[in-house]
């Protein structure tokens, strides 16, 4: 198991205790067979009531002790499951978030973590701990009489075969059901996050139909898997009952022949049933076992694919330049580049506007500049150091980013502006709000900076969300500020505040990069980069590039500077 080896090394005593308690618990399950052996071979022959009373009291004490041991096993397993989950939860949450960059809905490591935690803390783990006792119990039966042992071993082989067939038929079905579960969850989450559009445009019925189709497929897969497991579980249980009676019948024959006592006959039957009980339970728990095993494999795959290089050298805060050399980028390393052959450099205080038609790769380049999309080739350097050489969290403090569709988080206005930094950050929050020209707007909210904005900032207008996102981008005086369509929802006042914010950032030595369609977004910038079909067409001083744009036409024959688009025109490659 992923992380289990480290957990054993870090907390060896709980594992030793769990295994030790399992040994004691399995020994205590022999109480019933030993009691019946004594009753039949001693009490009934001696007709001693005191002996029967003493044996009964001893049996009650042993079963009471079993209750304590079993309770401790359950509690230790539950705590081990929690500790194991805690060792991976933060890492897997980071993996889960980064998967969103590539729109990967086929994996959900947090769901997989819950599956494995439930298995470790539930009955499934005890089945694995009890299964090794199968040969020990069968050996005891064999010791009572070889014929009884051979019959019990044959029965064990049959039930094991039932378990193997159940495994083979459940593996693919469990994998299919997991994929359908994730697909259903993705449709539901998507509809919920776009509830306004769904309800306003009468899409609820159609989305519900899509969700229901996947839900029906999931239900059918789960029903088929459940039916299959129900058959094998019933078959294993029925065969175990038959085997217990068969051992009893053979024991009776041996007792009649004088080769066995009545007490040993009963004891053999009980021990055989106890020996095969974990196998039967394994059939019942097999769905959980298969699901947990597949979840572990997916967790291992997700962690391996998301392994981040360890940064041990702390680089200084950049303050001079950014250099982009032959950069190509895409959402994932195995996908074709959506922007390629990009070359430019900017000095402190420069402002760059990235312009071009929809789908030209502007937002793709913006994502590469802030480090959220991988670099397929080329380099991005800050003050001569590759961006990949910076610690990701530390680098984030040097960068301000306002994406095209502003995403705010449930919490207060101040928390969103401060990027949820701990401690007293009031002064930095107020400074960022002033730089973004939004202090008065925030002050007019019901609770000012402490106003709770709801899920996704739902209590705010689109323009308010965009301006708060701008303040968040300005928080902490970042060196590199990348704004993707920062004025798509702004009025005249908001446009002026944006221009002032860009001018202020440039004046203090920041580099500002703006992806723009509207001319007002590039008013405060001094350089321009024209892109088309994912390639750099021209880069230079703003006036020079604008003159070139005035002569350059698209394939459709429309002049670029005459093309008016909104952020709603941007295609899926830039969303």
DSSP 63-132: HHHHHHHHHHHHHHHHHHHHHHHHHHHHHHHHHHHHHGGGT--S--HHHHHHHHHHHHTSHHHHHHHHGG
Confidence of residue 10 (pLDDT cuts 50, 70, 90): low
Q: For residue 317, what are the CA distances in angstroms to 76, 165, 387, 477?
A: 47, 61, 12, 11
Region at 436 (left for phi over 0; alpha for psi -120 to 50; beta for the rest): alpha
Portions of the chain given CATH number 3.40.50.300: 321-574
Edge-to-edge strand list for the sheet holding 511-515: 385-386, 375-382, 321-329, 339-347, 535-541, 527-532, 351-356, 511-515, 480-484, 399-402
Q: 475 near 428, Cβ under 8 Å?
A: yes
pLDDT over 60 (residue 554):
no
Q: Is 154 exposed, middle or buried (0-12, 13-18, 19+ CB in 10 A)?
A: exposed
Cα–Cα distances (Å) from 343 to 228, 256, 527, in that order, read: 60, 96, 13
pLDDT exceeds 80 at position 373: yes
**Long-range pairs for 562-570: beta carbons < 8 A, 24 or more residues apart:** 563/357, 564/517, 565/357, 565/358, 565/517, 566/488, 566/517, 567/404, 567/405, 567/485, 567/488, 567/517, 569/358, 570/358, 570/359, 570/363, 570/404, 570/485
Residues 206, 82: Cα–Cα separation, whole Å: 40
CA count, 13 A, side-chain hemisphere, 470: 36
Cβ contact 513:478 at 8 Å: no
Measured in degrees and rounded to the nearest 5, phi and psi for residue 323 equal -125, 125
Query: How far is Cα 183 from Cα 542, in angstroms, rounded to an integer?
Result: 46
Please report which confidence band the pLDDT of residue 29 belongs to, taking 50, 70 and 90 as the band edges. Answer: confident
Q: What is the pLDDT of residue 105?
A: 57
- Confidence at 193, pLDDT banded by 50, 70, 90: low
Residue predicted with more confidence, 135 or 62: 62
The mean per-residue pLDDT over the stretch 562-574 comes to: 37
Cβ contact 128:190 at 8 Å: no
What is the H or E stretch that residue 529 is in? strand 527-532
**CA separation for the pair 291, 117 (Å, rounded):** 11
DSSP conformation letters of 425-494: -HHHHHHHHHHTT-HHHHHTSTTGGG-B--GGGTTS-HHHHHHHHHHHHHTT--SEEEEESTTTT--HHH
Residue 575 clears pLDDT 50, i.e. is over it? no
For 241-253, what is the mean pLDDT? 88
pLDDT top residue among 112 and 190: 112
Of the candidate ranges 100-104, 202-206, 323-327, the one whose mean pLDDT is the lowest: 100-104
Region 531-560: mean pLDDT is: 70
Pairing of strands 480-484, 535-541: unpaired
Residue 365: the pLDDT is 94
- Rounded to 5 degrees, φ, ψ at 401 are -140, 125
Evaluate the CA torsion angle 538, 544, 546, 548 in order and state its sign. negative
Q: Assess whether pLDDT exceeds 60 at residue 552.
A: no
Q: Which residues contact 341 (CB under 8 A, 6 or more apart)?
A: 326, 327, 328, 535, 536
CA atoms within 13 A on the CB side of 462: 11
- Res 556: pLDDT: 30
- The predicted model scores a pTM of 0.68
pLDDT of residue 128: 78
Per-residue pLDDT band at 481 (split at 50, 70, 90)? very high
* pLDDT score at 192: 74
Please tell me whether residue 375 adopts helix, strand or coil conformation: strand
Q: How far apart are CA 498 and CA 500, in angstroms?
A: 5
Q: Where are the beta strands (DSSP E) in 306-439?
A: 321-329, 339-347, 351-356, 375-382, 385-386, 399-402
For position 5, what pLDDT does the model report? Answer: 60
Write the CB contacts of 97 (distance below 8 Å, at least 6 apart in sequence).
Answer: none
Task: Please compute the mean of the pLDDT values over residues 469-494 and round it to a whole number.
Answer: 90
With 0-12 / 13-18 / 19 or more C-beta atoms within 10 angstroms meaning exposed / middle / buried, residue 305 is: middle
Contact predicate 513/369, CB 8 Å = yes
CATH architecture of 4-172+230-303: Up-down Bundle (1.20)
The pLDDT of residue 345:
95
Q: Per residue in 264-309, pLDDT tens?
A: 888 888 888 888 777 777 766 766 777 777 788 888 877 777 666 6
H or E segment and range at residue 535: strand 535-541
Average pLDDT of the chain, as a whole number: 82
Alpha-carbon gap, residue 512 to 502, rounded angstroms: 7
CATH of domain 321-574: 3.40.50.300
Average pLDDT over residues 65-77: 89
Supply the pLDDT for residue 500: 92
How far is it, in rounded angstroms, from Cα 85 to Cα 72?
20
**Host H or E run for residue 155:** helix 146-193
Are 489 and 498 spatial neighbours (Cβ–Cβ below 8 Å)? no
Name the DSSP class of 364. H
Helix (H) or strand (E) holding 544: helix 542-551
CATH 1.20.1560.10 domain range(s) in the chain: 4-172+230-303
């Amino acid at each position: 198991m992923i992380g289990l080896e480290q957990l054993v090394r870090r907390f060896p005593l709980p594992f030793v205790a769990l295994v030790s308690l399992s040994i004691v618990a399995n020994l205590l399950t022999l109480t019933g067979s030993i009691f019946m052996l004594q009753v039949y071979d001693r009490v009934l022959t001696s007709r001693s009531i005191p002996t029967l009373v003493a044996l009964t009291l001893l049996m009650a004490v042993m079963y009471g002790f079993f209750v304590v041991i079993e309770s401790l096993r359950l509690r230790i397993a539950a705590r081990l499951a929690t500790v194991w989950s805690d060792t991976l939860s933060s890492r897997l949450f980071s993996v889960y978030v980064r998967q969103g960059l590539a729109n990967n809905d086929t994996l959900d490591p947090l769901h997989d973590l819950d599956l494995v935690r439930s298995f470790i803390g539930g009955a499934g783990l005890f089945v694995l701990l009890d299964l090794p006792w199968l040969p020990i119990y069968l050996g005891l039966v064999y010791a009572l009489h070889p014929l009884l042992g051979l019959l019990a071993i044959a029965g064990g082989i049959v039930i094991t075969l039932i378990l193997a067939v159940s495994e083979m038929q459940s593996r693919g079905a469990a994998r299919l059901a997991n994929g359908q579960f994730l697909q259903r969850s993705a449709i539901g989450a998507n509809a919920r996050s776009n509830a306004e559009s769904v309800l306003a445009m009468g899409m609820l019925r159609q989305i519900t139909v899509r969700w229901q189709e996947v839900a029906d497929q999931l239900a059918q897969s789960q029903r088929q898997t459940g039916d299959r497991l129900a058959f094998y579980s019933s078959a294993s249980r029925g065969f175990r009952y038959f085997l217990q009676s068969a051992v009893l019948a053979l024991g009776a024959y041996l007792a009649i022949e004088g080769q066995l006592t009545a007490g040993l006959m009963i004891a053999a039957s009980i021990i055989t049933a106890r020996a095969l009980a974990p196998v039967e339970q394994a059939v019942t728990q097999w769905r959980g076992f298969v699901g947990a095993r597949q979840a572990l494999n997916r967790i291992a795959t997700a962690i391996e694919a998301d392994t981040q290089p360890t940064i041990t050298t702390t680089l200084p805060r950049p303050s001079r330049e950014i250099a982009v050399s032959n950069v190509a980028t895409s959402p994932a390393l195995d996908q074709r580049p959506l922007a390629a052959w990009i070359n430019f450099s900017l000095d402190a205080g420069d402002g760059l506007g990235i312009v071009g038609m929809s789908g030209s790769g502007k937002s793709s380049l913006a994502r590469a500049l802030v480090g959220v999309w991988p670099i397929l080739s080329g380099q991005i350097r800050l003050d001569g150091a590759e961006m990949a050489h910076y610690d990701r969290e530390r680098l984030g403090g040097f960068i301000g980013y306002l994406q095209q569709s502003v995403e705010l988080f449930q919490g207060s206005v101040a928390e969103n502006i401060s990027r949820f930094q701990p401690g007293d950050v009031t002064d930095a929050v107020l400074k960022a709000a002033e730089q973004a020209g939004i202090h008065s707007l925030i002050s007019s909210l019901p609770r000012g900076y402490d106003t709770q904005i709801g899920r996704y900032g739902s209590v705010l207008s689109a323009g308010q969300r965009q301006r708060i996102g701008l303040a968040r981008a300005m928080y902490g005086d970042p060196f590199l500020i990348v704004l993707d369509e920062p004025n798509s929802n702004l009025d005249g006042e908001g446009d002026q505040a944006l221009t002032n914010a860009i001018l202020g950032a440039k004046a203090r030595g920041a580099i500002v990069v703006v992806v723009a369609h509207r001319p007002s977004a590039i008013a405060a910038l001094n350089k321009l980069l024209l892109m088309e079909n994912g390639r750099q067409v021209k880069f230079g001083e703003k006036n020079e590039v604008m003159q070139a744009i005035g002569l350059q036409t698209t394939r459709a024959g429309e002049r670029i500077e005459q093309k008016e688009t909104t952020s709603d025109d941007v295609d899926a490659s830039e969303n």
